[in-house]
């Protein structure tokens, strides 16, 4: 595996610790704020199910976990491998405490060894973090394990558009402009080379649907967002 795709937990945690102070600015700036629309689409779909308990894996700086708490009023746990990202999530959540809602439970842990009993959550979500798993199959099995019967998994992840000219414009931006801008603002040489490399290597579309099915999920479906720049995947755990 090339150094840019080293997904060992220690390396991923260190990389996100390093870029945590710049992560939100770069995430929104480099995506032209489209990432906010993608998260809103996921939150709307989850809110329709009125879950009581939600686990947001690879929660990062907490945008999705906070939005899920406000929209669903569920008990939300935000889990990440990076302490630096979680520290920012905690500060951010403190600025959104005007409503009488239960606080998000922030937890430092690995997605591939979740510290919860079987059947703990109604919903498990991941936004742009599943491609960082060192062992994707193990991470998906853990999501399945901690879901309650009939629970739902919802995963947002980057993809590569296939239609002309979006594909060509996207690849130029993603492989040339984004790494240079990310390196300029974050001062981190490898993090924004890792991003396009990890997206290129990730099994998207039908290939990822197959992996979800192999982990045990049924009724798996996908939806393209913004001309295929991102994908929203959903699956269900059996009832018994």
Please answer whether residues 109 and 138 qualify as being in contact, where contact means their C-beta atoms are separated by less than 8 angstroms: no
pLDDT at 4: 57
Q: What is the pLDDT of residues 166-213, one digit of tens each?
A: 888 888 887 888 777 767 766 676 777 888 889 899 999 999 999 999
Map tokens 């947001």 to a residue. 56
pLDDT at 132 over 60: yes
| Mean pLDDT to the nearest integer, 54-76 | 96
52, 104, 103: which is closest to 78 by C-alpha?
Answer: 104
The arrangement of strands across the sheet holding 147-158 comes to: 105-108, 75-80, 53-57, 121-127, 147-158, 230-236, 218-225
* Tokens at 185, concatenated: 């603002």
- Taking the C-alpha atoms of residue 88 and residue 72, their distance in angstroms, rounded to an integer, is 22
pLDDT at 31 over 80: no
pLDDT at 47 over 90: yes
pLDDT over 70 for what percent of the chain? Answer: 92
pLDDT at 152: 98
Provide the mean pLDDT of the chain: 90
Band (100; pLDDT cuts 50, 70, 90): low
DSSP 99: S
| Mean pLDDT to the nearest integer, 44-49 | 96
pTM comes to 0.93
Distances, alpha carbon 61 to alpha carbons 93, 121, 240, in Å: 9, 21, 35
**Burial, 135: exposed, middle or buried (Cβ in 10 Å; 0-12, 13-18, 19+)?**
middle
pLDDT at 101: 66
Please answer whether residues 64 and 154 qualify as being in contact, where contact means their C-beta atoms are separated by less than 8 angstroms: no
Please answer whether residues 42 and 156 qualify as being in contact, where contact means their C-beta atoms are separated by less than 8 angstroms: yes
Domain boundaries, the chain: 3-159+202-236
| Class (C level, CATH) for 3-159+202-236 | alpha beta
Cis peptide before 147 (omega within 30 of 0): no
| Mean pLDDT to the nearest integer, 205-231 | 96
pLDDT at 189: 67
- Taking the C-alpha atoms of residue 144 and residue 10, their distance in angstroms, rounded to an integer, is 24
**Dihedral angle sign, alpha carbons of residues 87, 88, 93, 95:** positive
Band (98; pLDDT cuts 50, 70, 90): low
pLDDT over 90 for what percent of the chain? Answer: 65
């Amino acid at each position: 595996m090339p150094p840019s795709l080293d997904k060992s937990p220690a390396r991923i945690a260190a990389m996100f610790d390093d870029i945590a102070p710049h992560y939100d600015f770069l995430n929104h700036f480099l995506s032209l704020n489209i990432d906010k629309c993608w998260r809103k689409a996921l939150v709307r779909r989850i809110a329709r199910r009125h879950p009581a308990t939600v686990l947001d894996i690879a929660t990062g700086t907490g945008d999705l976990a906070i939005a899920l708490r406000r929209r669903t009023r569920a008990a939300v746990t935000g889990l990440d491998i990076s302490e630096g990202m979680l520290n920012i999530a905690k500060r951010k959540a403190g600025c959104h405490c005007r409503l009488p809602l239960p606080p998000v439970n922030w937890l430092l842990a690995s997605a591939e060894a979740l510290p919860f009993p079987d059947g703990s959550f109604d919903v498990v979500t991941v936004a742009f973090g599943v491609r960082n798993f060192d062992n994707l199959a193990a991470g998906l099995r853990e999501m399945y394990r901690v879901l309650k019967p009939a629970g739902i998994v919802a995963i947002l992840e980057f993809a590569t558009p296939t239609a002309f000219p979006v594909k060509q414009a996207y690849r130029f931006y993603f492989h040339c402009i984004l790494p240079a801008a990310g390196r300029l603002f974050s001062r981190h040489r490898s993090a924004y080379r890792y991003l396009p490399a990890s997206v290129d290597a990730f099994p998207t579309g039908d290939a990822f649907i197959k992996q979800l099915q192999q982990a045990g999920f049924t009724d798996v479906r996908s939806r393209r967002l913004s001309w295929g720049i991102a994908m929203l995947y959903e699956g269900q755990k059996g009832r018994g």
